[in-house]
A and B are shown apart, each in its own frame.
Chain A
């Protein structure tokens, strides 16, 4: 420091108030304020995610039932048991099919829908609002609505199709009572439920592409398909993966649609991991086995999350 600098510093020091004895209020101290503001979220996650998770792990290696008051450690007996259980494998396969098919449909339809409502047209606002409605409706109420739509006697689909002469003679599908149709039905409901979120996420991704890029592609000679596959899709791929990640997590862990519509039936043809864990652990009273089944959700979801976040990072374009 130069001489003049030192003079200035000492002048400032003598005139500055003596270091305050008073403690800074925690709200004025950023390190404390940060902790205070984070605390509710941390407490919430620990109490509602962390604690149940470790409880499930401890149940899965015990002999807990709904009625028991003490736990005994039984090692991996419950896991050995579910590996022998064909219904478990069937549930796992169903969960993968249910999630896979519905998410492919959600992403493809979400992209198409987003492109349709990306363009400017009168009444755009109301269309966007209507598309979002299934997302804001409670899942259970929406599913009950679909239960009526798929009703074996009163199904509005069947009666409409018959009135339009599409179903002839004795053709009368029992939507939730025939194995293939039951799976198709729960996939349909899941797509209906998740499509709005995916559409809105993809729409946000599309809005983030500068108009100049589209204009350049148009001038450079790209037609619709080339523009879609070479410019549009690669640019929104990271954000589409986020939509897909959400969709997979929501669908793979979902219990409500299956519970309300089919209870896993007929013949376990729509049984998924979440519903099987619930029926075994809570309704069947075998908490230990139920916990072991439900823990199979965890590694799958972690793997999915890691894979997608890695891809999203790699394809990041900006």
Chain B
């Protein structure tokens, strides 16, 4: 277990800065998720933590020790790749044993520790198979077993669930979190999937264009986004943003409800719009609409839980509203969050 820290970490490529002066501090035993759209620099950042990419400037610290110029093998880390990167010519046993053999662990110890790691992920019966004979989910477990077998101080995970089908991904997410909690090993996890980020992370770092836009708990990031990028990236459908004089006002789709759904003593802001389209999703209805003139080009989305049975038809205007305290305000120029009622 160890802390992971970066100081003004920058990676320049020909096309610009992939990582742009990032200061990040991961606490001991924490599960930190780096999330952002593709090309935001999250994978480059992770690879610099691993030592697979050399920073253009800045430092990486693991357990308080500067490791910027150390090769990956001297950092005491383990990494799981999106492709799992299993060694195709080795058996599952050989794959899991590889890091220990590289570390010069005694032969007898290797066997017992491989067994232990394999039983942790329920893959004991696969030890003699080659990776090509495994399913996607089994490969992912082998990759995890290979990562934990050496007791590294930090786990780095690069979209390890993105090659699994949707159903398997949910259960794998659950297992991944449980096993991280059990081991208590500091973990940095990269994903482009905000649902995965919200579900797994103790804290989430939202990245775009090589910078961290916000670092906080899933609750902070969702309910108190630092800027319009975070507000629209996290949450599906994204936060509605409306021009409101010199600022932008934001409202989450699930907080935009028919007026009748609010208590009489709630301080609400009326929000009438014309419905264009309705998506019925079972548990929810997504209602797409446009505001009244002169802001008819502003599209809004409301998410109605199934408890709200109010019939809604397309083409008609409805009185929606939002609680005043649920409204967020952002500066129109910078996109930064403004403190209340600026």
Q: Which residues from chain A sit less than 8 Å from chain B, CB to CB?
A: 210, 212-213, 215-223, 226, 230-231, 234-235, 315, 317-318
Contact B89 A221 (CB under 8 A): no
- Closest chain A residue to B103, Cβ basis: A221
Looking at B15-23, B79-87, B258-266, B329-337, the stretch in contact with chain A turns out to be B79-87
Q: Which of B82, B83, B99 contacts A221 (CB 8 A)?
A: B99
Q: Which of A212, A235, A317 contacts B85 (CB 8 A)?
A: A212
B71 at interface (Cβ–Cβ under 8 A)?
Answer: yes
A234 to B94, CA, bound (A): 13
Give me the 9 closest cross-chain CB pairs, A-B, nearest first. Answer: A221-B102, A212-B85, A216-B85, A220-B99, A221-B73, A317-B88, A219-B79, A218-B72, A219-B72
Q: Which residues from chain B sit less than 8 Å from chain A, CB to CB?
A: 47, 50-52, 71-73, 77-79, 81-83, 85-89, 98-99, 101-103, 132, 146, 150, 156
- Closest chain A residue to B47, Cβ basis: A215
Contact A216 B81 (CB under 8 A): yes
Known contacts A210-B85, A215-B85, A220 near B71 by CB under 8 Å: no
Known contacts A212-B83, A215-B79, A220 near B52 by CB under 8 Å: no
Contact B71 A213 (CB under 8 A): no
Contact B132 A318 (CB under 8 A): yes
A303 to B103, CA, bound (A): 42
B295 to A: closest C-beta gap in Å: 49
Contact B52 A218 (CB under 8 A): yes
Residues from chain B with a CB closer than 8 A to the CB of A218 are 51-52, 71-73
A238 to B: closest C-beta gap in Å: 10
A213 to B79, CA, bound (A): 12
Residues from chain B with a CB closer than 8 A to the CB of A231 are 87
Known A-B contacts: A215-B47, A318-B88. Give 6 more (CB < 8 A).
A215-B85, A219-B73, A219-B78, A220-B73, A220-B102, A221-B103
Residues from chain B with a CB closer than 8 A to the CB of A234 are 89
- Closest chain B residue to A213, Cβ basis: B85
Contact B83 A219 (CB under 8 A): no
Residues from chain A with a CB closer than 8 A to the CB of B47 are 215
Residues from chain B with a CB closer than 8 A to the CB of A315 are 89
Residue pairs across A and B with Cβ atoms less than 8 A apart, 27 shown, are A210-B85, A212-B85, A213-B88, A215-B47, A215-B52, A215-B72, A216-B85, A216-B87, A217-B98, A218-B52, A219-B50, A219-B73, A219-B79, A219-B156, A220-B73, A221-B150, A222-B98, A222-B102, A223-B73, A223-B102, A226-B101, A230-B98, A235-B87, A315-B89, A317-B88, A317-B132, A318-B132
Contact B88 A235 (CB under 8 A): yes
Residues from chain A with a CB closer than 8 A to the CB of B98 are 217, 220, 222, 230
